[in-house]
Structure 1
Amino acid sequence: MVYYFEPVLKDGGQCGLQIGYEWSDWHSAESGWGLKLAFEFEGLYLGKHSPEGVMPIEPQYLGTQYLSFDTQGYALLATAMLTVTTPWSQRFLPYAAASTGMARVSLSNADSANPSEPGINHFNSDPNASDTASALQFKLGIKSKLSRNLILFTEYRYLSIDSTRYTFGPTVYPEEHPPTDDWDVRMGKLNYNLFVAGLQYRF
Structure 2
Amino acid sequence: LLDAGALTNQDPINCLQIALRMGNYELMHLLLRHGANVNYFCRVNTTHFPSALQYALKDEVMLRMLLNFGYDVRRCFDCPRGSAAHARYATDGWTSTVIKDTMFCEVITLSWLKHVSGKVVRVMLDYVDHVKICWKLEAVLKEQELWPDIHFILTNPRSLKHLCRLKIRACMGRLRLRCPVFMTFLPLPNCLKDYILYKEYDLYGQENFTGIY
TM-score, shorter chain, exceeding 0.5: no
- Greater helix proportion: 2
- Greater strand proportion: 1
- The structure having more radius of gyration, on CA atoms, is 1
TM range (shorter): under 0.3
